[in-house]
Structure 1
Amino acid sequence: MDVSRICSELVAIRSENPPGNTSVVIEYIRDFLDARGIVSTVMDTGGGRCNLVTEGPDKPLLLCGHVDVVPALDEGWTHPPYSGTREKGYVWGRGATDMKGGCAAILAACDTLVNEGDELPATLAFVCDEETGGDRGIRYLIAHDLIAPCDCLIAEPSPARHPCIGQKGLCRLDLKFVGTPGHGSLYPTIGISAIMEAMELLEYVKSLHGREFQMDEKLREIIRLSSEVFSEEFQILEGSDILERVTFNPGVISGGEKINIVAQQCSVNLELRIPWGCCIPDLVKDIRAHATNGTVVEKTVHDPSFTDPGCNFAAVVCHEVEKVWGGDVFPILQWAASDARHLRCAGFQVVEYGPGELATLHGINERVSVVSLENAVKIYRGILNTYSKKQKRHDIRSV
């Protein structure tokens, strides 16, 4: 089975989020599985936001991927973002790396297993809504008991030799400021500008990046190794700052009424990524204390999470990666959020590993190399082999 063709066909099926309609891409996956005798259930959680879960008794392994992608404009792309073009050793297009490449590799690995006459030792879950928080996707499956806690591999893109075992925390805040309007020519003598109040708070937020936090030394060593990987992947000097410190982004700012009026209102959507050792309630309290003439509303809060790097599942994944890629293989922590945080909270032991070109993630000319796709299939197949043996031993003991 040509995994690059599967990836290309998935990319060509548009599933931008927003709006989040994944019905067509989920139908493609259901038809693919049906043709191989793998029965699944599709649930529409509204507006075409569809998820798929394979049927059958609980399995010792969950293979999981999201099929929604962030939007893309046509401008600047070498190939149209939803073409799924295969050229020069890559599949090009929005979602090729995040993460239809990983979904394609899961499907191709299951295809090889079924063709060899083996029973699938894993539940498969393909979900919507990862890019906007997971309420209609993985959190829906968890809330409705459609998946049960077990070892879980999410096919999110990762460095080739480094499965991901944890993510920083996430805190999204809505900031609203109220000023005292007046004629713009008289400011700052007369009037209070809501925009300038917002700017003052953002100056304080910038200072949060300088804070240092206490953490377990074993965790700090993993962060050190992870930071070296990031520095190499992204060609940056201070990779450690990504994981050890608060990072922030005022993603949306709007305010003011007219150019010659002192602004009466201003709003900011602020996102903070939270390192291990940082107390989110204390951090939000500090921000509130510095929000003069402003209110702070928490929209999304998730603590940092990680899977024990010494657990058997992490060892299995690293072993299969080493067999395929060779070299120095070890697990890392990651800066971004994913469905892993929800699954860990529900009792799953989660490792992320998948194909992709991280530098193109959410960017123009997103793409995935065919080599990384093919190697991901081999790695997933090796993991499935391990769990097939475990399942057979369990079945024998149950007789």
Structure 2
Amino acid sequence: MVEEILARLVAFPSVVGTPNGPITNWIADYCRSHGAEIHVLPGPEGDRANLFASLGPVDVPGYVLSGHSDVVPADEDGWSADPFTLRAEGERLYGRGTTDMKGFLAAALAALPVLAARPLKRPIHLAFSYDEEAGCRGVPHMIAALPKLCAEPLGVIVGEPSGLQPVLAHKGKASVRLDVTGRSGHSSRPDQGLNAIHAMVGVLADAVALGKDLASGPFDPRFTPPYSTLQVGIVSGGRALNVIPERSSAEIELRAIAGADPRALLEPIRNRLTALEAEGFGTGWQELAAYPALALAPDSALAALMGELSGQAPCEAVSYGTEAGLFQAAGHDAIICGPGDIARAHRPDEFITRGELNACLSMILALAERCQA
């Protein structure tokens, strides 16, 4: 059954930043058919929604299984077949989102008929978000609504691919777009224009310098590298070599160790950008994505539970980010534990194995047994 559900989910081309009504409505109908209490929570975009489903008494503390239904685009070269049609070859199941992270969603949905038949004393909730791949843009709206949807959860299990090994921590992130607007003119008279690229170079030089300073600490040995990092990823500007460029833009990201605020660390760069206005330039600062770090205590009840259910000792930290940090920032204990390998995500011929799917399903059913006690 889990493979059939995964095939249905993969068939929805729920690419980040696009309307997600078809996949959300299908999941909602499926959950209703198994007696779950459903809340479809539209986001401010108007064409996307989070989904929250519950089995068991919602006024009692329980557990949240958290995942996202969006996927990255599948327009890269290297796919052996249609990325939105599940393809089986031996143990491998290929398709966009199989690992990141419709495999986890499929396992959670496949567990619903069993959960519905059991006398749960503690609820199990499904929290499926949108636009996670754009920097966790959808889930904050669902987290804000959580107090009206259920009692305070005992824990949130974010099913990002971790080989079903519980993960206690990840870095936080903030990414921003910088824009500089100058004044165009002929390159032979630079004195009559304002070169936006030259101005941007100064800002980016400060950003690179900040990245080097971050490498000097503070340190957190759980991470690789063990310090906060900054990268300039995209730079653009100019129309022709003999034209003074009137516009320039750049995108940078900062990944911060636990205990550091990535937004705050970027403030010197924002101040440097804004200072250009005194020279006659126009400036723009747009936050593209931001989420806090995750840092669950190793001796927490949730860490112990997931170690028992997964059969693996918790991993201290991973380098990728998830929605778990946002749940924790809102006061909910959160941990990462999902099927598949993150190294397969965002690549052609993404796949998950049948064994990984079934192991995840077994873990969720084991959680349900605990909720009967």
TM-score, with length taken from structure 1: 0.79
Distance 2:76 2:182 in 1: 40
Distance verdict in 2 for CA 1:118–1:85, change over 3 Å: farther
Aligned to 1:297: 285
Runs of 5+ in structure 2 lacking a partner?
Answer: none
Aligned to 2:144: 143
Q: CA deviation at 1:289?
A: 5.5
8 A contact 2:9–2:106 mirrored in 1: yes
Moved more, 294-303 or 101-110: 294-303
Distance 2:163 2:199 in 1: 41
Distance 1:182 1:48 in 2: 42
**Aligned with 2:243 (options 261, 267, 287):** 261
Aligned residues: 356
| 1:307-361 superposed Cα distances (whole Å, 9 cap, x missing partner) | 2221011111011211xxx6xx223323333222221122111111111231121
Distance 1:10 1:62 in 2: 20
Q: CA deviation at 1:108?
A: 2.0
Distance verdict in 2 for CA 1:199–1:94, change over 3 Å: farther
Distance 1:47 1:279 in 2: 30
Aligned to 2:305: 316
**Aligned with 1:159 (options 157, 163, 171):** 163
Aligned to 1:12: 11
Aligned to 1:236: none
What secondary structure does 1:176 align onto?
strand
What secondary structure does 2:266 align onto?
helix
8 A contact 1:93–1:366 mirrored in 2: yes
Distance 1:73 1:146 in 2: 37
Distance 2:169 2:31 in 1: 30
Distance 1:65 1:302 in 2: 15
**Aligned with 2:96 (options 94, 97, 119):** 94
Aligned to 1:393: none
**Aligned with 1:83 (options 82, 85, 94):** 85
Aligned to 1:205: 207
Distance verdict in 2 for CA 1:84–1:47, change over 3 Å: farther
Residue 175 (structure 1) aligned with residue 158 (structure 2):
no
Q: CA deviation at 1:39?
A: 3.3
Distance 2:131 2:21 in 1: 12
Residue 332 (structure 1) aligned with residue 336 (structure 2):
no
Runs of 5+ in structure 1 lacking a partner?
Answer: 228-239, 390-399
Moved more, 97-106 or 40-49: 40-49
Q: Which residue identity lines up with residue 142 of structure 1 in the other structure?
A: I
Moved more, 269-278 or 338-347: 269-278
Residue 286 (structure 1) aligned with residue 265 (structure 2):
no
Q: Which residue identity lines up with residue 304 of structure 1 in the other structure?
A: A
8 A contact 2:42–2:50 mirrored in 1: yes
Q: CA deviation at 1:185?
A: 5.7
Q: CA deviation at 1:200?
A: 4.4
Q: CA deviation at 1:152?
A: 1.0
Distance verdict in 2 for CA 1:283–1:34, change over 3 Å: closer
| 1:115-159 superposed Cα distances (whole Å, 9 cap, x missing partner) | 5x4437312222223223444x32222323334431111111113
CA RMSD of superposed structures (Å): 2.8
8 A contact 2:39–2:52 mirrored in 1: yes
What secondary structure does 2:174 align onto?
strand
Residue 371 (structure 1) aligned with residue 371 (structure 2):
no
Aligned residues with identical type, % of pairs: 27
Distance 1:212 1:351 in 2: 29
Distance 1:259 1:126 in 2: 49
Distance verdict in 2 for CA 1:142–1:32, change over 3 Å: same
Aligned to 2:39: 41
Distance verdict in 2 for CA 1:364–1:247, change over 3 Å: farther
Distance 2:344 2:366 in 1: 28
Distance verdict in 2 for CA 1:275–1:185, change over 3 Å: farther
Distance 1:158 1:346 in 2: 23
8 A contact 1:172–1:271 mirrored in 2: yes
Aligned to 1:271: 253
Moved more, 49-58 or 260-269: 49-58
